Structure 1
Amino acid sequence: MTIQVYGFGLIVFLFSCLDRRLPNGTIWDTFKEGVPVEYYPMSSALVNVPGELRKLLEALSPNLDDDSKRTTLHNITQYIYLKESEANICTNDDIKLVASFLDDDNKVIKTEALNALKAFTIIWRFKIKIQEYVPKVAELVTNTWDTNLQVAGLRLLNGLHIPDNTHPLMRRLLSNFMDILLMANTLAKVQVLKFLSTLAQEEDLLYDIMNSQAPPEFLSLFQPSLPGNLLCELLIFVERLSAGRLSPQYQSVQWQYNDNSLHEVIFGDNSRLSDRLLALIIHPEEEVQTEACKVILSLRLNKEESRVLSGPPFGANISVGPLESTGISQANTSSLSNHPLNSRASHPSDTVGNDGTHDESDLSFYPLQTLDDTGHSFHPMDSGRIVEDNSRSNLHPVDCLDNDSSSI
């Protein structure tokens, strides 16, 4: 019994020492180095301590040494994910304090600050405040060639709405994002593709993305041997470009593209993208197969649309000449009359009971039908009277009515 008590006391003592030393960054740092923040959990005893997040925020200061800054920011990130209720009572001043470490000289501290801001985005009302730092984050991602920092910054950007007033900056940084897509590691490529797909949905940025420089190595990304998540994001990006290209707003302008533009690599006449996509149809991952089929169909629609737009104007091959006479018009246009044109000599016996009319050349013809207000057709009479035939809903002239038949 005594041994059990001593053993339990030793465990409690060691745990309390661990608890006290965690904020100073002396125990777990070597184990945590290089591991994403989601994968190393915090002690449940620390999580259950009320007000611990507030204590960490109050302890965070530019005067701390680099290890303390990094560890404190890291613990703030974990507390936000694990204790959302405490994170919800934070203020915009706390966001401003964490964001101030984006200007630190140490890239690791900048990365931890980006992770902490990303954690704060789970609180909806903080997203508006964090959007103010979108230009700063974009500059960090494109100007600092550090994989961890780029991934952290892109994850933060992908969790935010990109304000319209930052579009000129994004337009200027497109070439840098394309460099990340071509040269960074897989994780950074996945994140930058998500970000580019978001920008491709902005109407005022679509052309700039299409006209951005894309070397021939861009098609090397469509390799079946690459990870499935990377291929899926790449195919989604191409599908977004294709959909934007088919929009009426985009087609209303005759755009001009550079020879080595992304548009020419994907949609140009000499593009080899179709061959790459066919290889992805048999990819072992079903999601990749599905996205590849979507892109193939979208590219087919683009080609059909381009063929229609490059064809002759509508009706250009239809020749219309003047009609020689009204009689010829009736003979050639059957829709103008339900009766054929009769060209025959008139006989006295034909003048009675005949619906035709004679011209000076002694040829009979039928007058053109006319439409009344109800949409029915009728033959006009001299007297202006008409009789309707209920069996065909057409109106025909009365052949002859004298004064003796008015009682009918």
Structure 2
Amino acid sequence: MNNLAFPQLGELPGVRALSDFLEDPGKMMKYYEAISRRNVVNAATGATAIYLISKTLLAMLKSPPFNPARISSSGLSVESYSVPSSRMNAPGELRRLLQTLRPNLDDDSKRTTLHTITQCIYLKETEANACTNDDIKLVASFLDDGDKITKMEALNALKAFTVVWRFKIKIQEYVPKIIELVTSNWDMNLQVAGLKLLNGLHIPNSTHSLLRRLLPNFMEILLVANTLAKVQVLKFLSTLAQEEDLLYDVMNCRAPPEFLSLFQPSLPGNLLCELLVFVECLSVGRLSPQYQSVDWQYSDNSLHETIFGENSRLPDRLLALIIHPEEDVQAQACKVIPSLRLNREESKLASGPPFDANISVQPLESTRISQAANSVLSNHPFVLSTHPSDATDTDTSFHPVHDDSGRSFYPLQGTDETGDSFYPLQRTDHSFHPLENVSVNSSSRVLEDSFGSFHPPPAAPLGDSDSST
């Protein structure tokens, strides 16, 4: 052990090579050139690629062998089911499919059959016209199926049957069921299919009570669903807003605080257009005489207060939509903004003083009224006893002119015998003076002759009139 000799540190090969490398400046420069930024990036990229390739190969080796029988068709969309075009064009194919459609089929067969029926209706409208109400009843029976995709395909088939006008009345019987499917399931495809069907039907009056109860559900779909479902639910809400007995329920429906966030220029143009159309329908309905004739009361968080309230921020949101890239959005926003302004003006008028308020009005000029009340109409021409030019500042009275029949006429001040010229009134006092020589119990009447002119009877003395009464 004591005879063993350990090499010195400088005699080790690695240390000797490192010392030679550090002592040679040329070798140092080549080393710095080798570790440039570009070379480091290339090395890191190559290492990453090698790692990903090796990971992929290991996953392929560990995966089980391919077995087609293990693939389930439940995860595939119905559109991926290929239907031979020769079968689609075969005569009587729609009737054959309806005959094979039975509730005891498996889920895949029901989906495929319903989907093929939908395509056949669109391609062969003549065969669809030959169908009966029993066929509609058969397809609608799958709305109660346990599989959501089967329900969706049944809704699509019913929507296809609406191309035949006489089937719309039959499908209206299932509107309550369709509304419940849309509001109780949060499957987006099912909601879109149901809303498309509802938008193609007339909503019966018997379903209005159900719609009043489920309006908050439709508002929730408007906020949380995808773009396609939002567009369809806005179309449906616009239809409800045009119903006179449902307009107030839509107005008073609770609007979540996120409702105004839908008016964003970054959203799709078709969604913004339908949203503006919905606001326009509410505005037009609110300005209708039937709706204005009732003093409606709204809750604080209602849709009415969010859109038409004094503290509404909707006008500020609409200003941003005027510069939207799509012209349809710009045009619709320009239609809604004046409508909202008109609604606010109507609200200010409605909040004014009531009709029975005590409003003081300055009386009209007393001189003209008193002279008109004292005058008696006559069908004879008249002549002024004194011209206005002869009147002095202290005497501005006129004297009556009598004719042969005993009738008299008191001319109005400011007119001459032709009735054309006008002279300024002498009295400028606007205070009201009661009439002095007018009898309340006057029995004078106006008689109508056969020529359509009016002739008053001769004026009776005041004493005779009093004695007659």
Q: Judge same fold: TM > 0.5, yes or no.
A: yes
Q: Contact 1:341 / 1:365 at 8 angstroms: preserved in 2?
A: no
1:337-376 → structure 2 map (5 Å cutoff): 356-357=400-401, 366-367=410-411
Which of 234, 237, 248 is matched with 1:196 structurally? 237
Cα shift at 1:304: 1.9
- For 1:95, the equivalent position in structure 2 comes to 136
Instruction: Compare CA radii of gyration and give the structure with the larger one.
Output: 2
Aligned residues: 339
Whole-angstrom distance in 1 between the partners of 2:293 and 2:199: 30
Q: Contact 1:331 / 1:341 at 8 angstroms: preserved in 2?
A: no
1:5-404 → structure 2 map (5 Å cutoff): 33=77, 43-312=84-353, 317=359, 319=361, 329-330=370-371, 356-357=400-401, 366-367=410-411
Whole-angstrom distance in 2 between the partners of 1:67 and 1:297: 54
Whole-angstrom distance in 2 between the partners of 1:100 and 1:341: 98
Change (3 A) 1:328 1:246: closer
SS of residue paired to 1:193: helix
Deviations 1:155-190 (A, max 9, x none): 000000000001000111100000000111100000
Deviations 1:209-263 (A, max 9, x none): 0000001210000000000000000000000000000011111111110000000
The percent of aligned pairs where both chains have the same amino acid is: 71
Change (3 A) 1:341 1:244: farther
Change (3 A) 1:132 1:383: closer
Q: Contact 1:80 / 1:120 at 8 angstroms: preserved in 2?
A: yes
Whole-angstrom distance in 1 between the partners of 2:239 and 2:332: 17
Whole-angstrom distance in 2 between the partners of 1:48 and 1:270: 61
Whole-angstrom distance in 2 between the partners of 1:136 and 1:177: 15
Whole-angstrom distance in 1 between the partners of 2:387 and 2:193: 84
Q: Contact 1:280 / 1:288 at 8 angstroms: preserved in 2?
A: yes
Cα shift at 1:313: 5.1
Change (3 A) 1:333 1:93: farther
Whole-angstrom distance in 2 between the partners of 1:181 and 1:42: 35
- For 1:405, the equivalent position in structure 2 comes to none
Whole-angstrom distance in 2 between the partners of 1:76 and 1:122: 14
Q: Contact 2:283 / 2:340 at 8 angstroms: preserved in 1?
A: yes
Whole-angstrom distance in 2 between the partners of 1:383 and 1:194: 74
Cα shift at 1:320: 6.2
SS of residue paired to 1:173: helix
Deviations 1:364-397 (A, max 9, x none): 992579997778799x79599xxxxxxxxxxxxx
- For 2:22, the equivalent position in structure 1 comes to none
What letter is aligned with 1:77? T
Whole-angstrom distance in 1 between the partners of 2:401 and 2:303: 72
Whole-angstrom distance in 2 between the partners of 1:333 and 1:150: 80
Whole-angstrom distance in 2 between the partners of 1:230 and 1:74: 28
Whole-angstrom distance in 2 between the partners of 1:228 and 1:41: 34
Q: Contact 1:80 / 1:119 at 8 angstroms: preserved in 2?
A: yes
Aligned CA-pair RMSD: 3.7
- Contiguous gaps of at least 5 residues in structure 1: 1-26, 346-353, 359-363, 385-408
What letter is aligned with 2:285? G
